[in-house]
Structure 1
Amino acid sequence: MANNIPSSPKNKSEQYLKQKAAKKRSGNKAVFLFLFFAAVAVAIIAKIFLSGTLKPEFFKGMPGSEDAYAMAKLFIKPTLKSSSANFSDEHYQFGKQSDSVYVIQSSVESTDDSGEKINTEFKIILKYNGGEVDKQKNWSLIDLNIH
Structure 2
Amino acid sequence: MSNDYHQLKKAKGKTARLGVWVVIGLIILFGLILFRFTLSGSQKQNLFGGLPSKEDVYEAAKIIVKPSLKGDHVSFSDDGFEFGKRSDSVYVIRSYADVTAEDGSQSRQYFNVTIKYNGGLATKANNWELQALQLQ
Where on the TM-score scale, by shorter chain, does this alignment land: which range?
Answer: 0.7 to 0.9
Give yes or no for the alignment of 1:108 onto 2:108: no
In structure 1, what is the equivalent of residue 36 of structure 2? 47
Specify the structure having the higher radius of gyration (Cα): 1
Q: Percent identity?
A: 36
RMSD: 2.1
Equivalent pairs, count: 135
Greater relative contact order structure (CA < 8 Å, 6+ sep): 2
Are 2:49 and 2:119, in contact at CA under 8 Å, matched by a contact in 1? no
In structure 2, what is the equivalent of residue 8 of structure 1? none
Cα distance change of structure 1 residues 146 and 56 upon mapping to structure 2, 3 Å threshold: closer
Deviation at 1:49, TM superposition (A): 4.5
1:64-107 residue CA offsets vs partner (Å, 9 max, x unmatched)? 11111111111111111102111111011001101100000011
**Structure 1 gaps, min length 5:** 1-10
**Structure 2 gaps, min length 5:** none
Are 2:49 and 2:120, in contact at CA under 8 Å, matched by a contact in 1? no
Cα distance change of structure 1 residues 57 and 69 upon mapping to structure 2, 3 Å threshold: closer
**Separation in 2 of the partners of 1:56 and 1:40?**
22
**Separation in 1 of the partners of 2:79 and 2:54?**
12
Alignment of 1:59-70 (within 5 A): 59-70=48-59
Give yes or no for the alignment of 1:27 onto 2:17: yes
Amino acid at match of 1:137: N
Cα distance change of structure 1 residues 64 and 56 upon mapping to structure 2, 3 Å threshold: closer
1:36-72 residue CA offsets vs partner (Å, 9 max, x unmatched)? 322223212421453237x974414111111111111
Tell me which moved more, 69-78 or 40-49: 40-49
2:116 alignment partner, one of 121, 127, 147 = 127
